[in-house]
Amino acid sequence: MTDYTKTAARADASLRRKGGIVVLRQIVAGEYDPDLGTAPTTTTEYEGTGVKIGYSAEDIDGTLIQSGDQKLLLSPLQRNGAPMLTPTTADLVLIGGASFTIVAVDKTEPVDVAVLFTLQLRGL
């Protein structure tokens, strides 16, 4: 069986050469607190590496992919070497001072090891 951990490490090394620092921000709501009248939230940030590229004109349909949307190739490893949390559409991405929502996530995972995340981003 193929060791996809090595493939993930190679993908990370390639993205570090070509890309830059990306922050995945996860905001999780806790249980409703009647004393506060709200559900407290916890924000966790994961620092990773990614390459942001634009969609080609023929990919932009105005509905699923809109003008201005960006594609992000995100490393399966955090900058500290730990596995990257699988992004969701509830998370935010921060790149160079700009914030993006995640419209779609595609995880390349041949077996049980993620080797690349491809995200569709939309500016806030």
Q: Indicate whether 35 pLDDT > 60.
A: yes
Q: Above 60 in pLDDT, residue 1?
A: no
- pLDDT for position 123: 94
pLDDT at 3: 77
Average pLDDT, stretch 50-79?
94
What's the pLDDT tens digit per position in 105-122? 999 998 888 999 999 999
User: What's the total number of domains in the chain?
Assistant: 1
Q: How confident is the model at residue 26 (pLDDT cuts 50, 70, 90)?
A: very high
* Domain assignment of residue 91, given as a range: 4-123
Per the prediction, the chain carries an average pLDDT of 93
pLDDT of 2 above 80: no
Give the whole-angstrom CA distance, residue 81 versus residue 63. 36
Domain CATH number, residue 104: 2.40.10.270
Structure tokens at 46: 């994961």
Burial class (CB in 10 A: 0-12, 13-18, 19+), 38: exposed
**Euclidean distance between CA atoms 104 and 114, whole angstroms:** 16
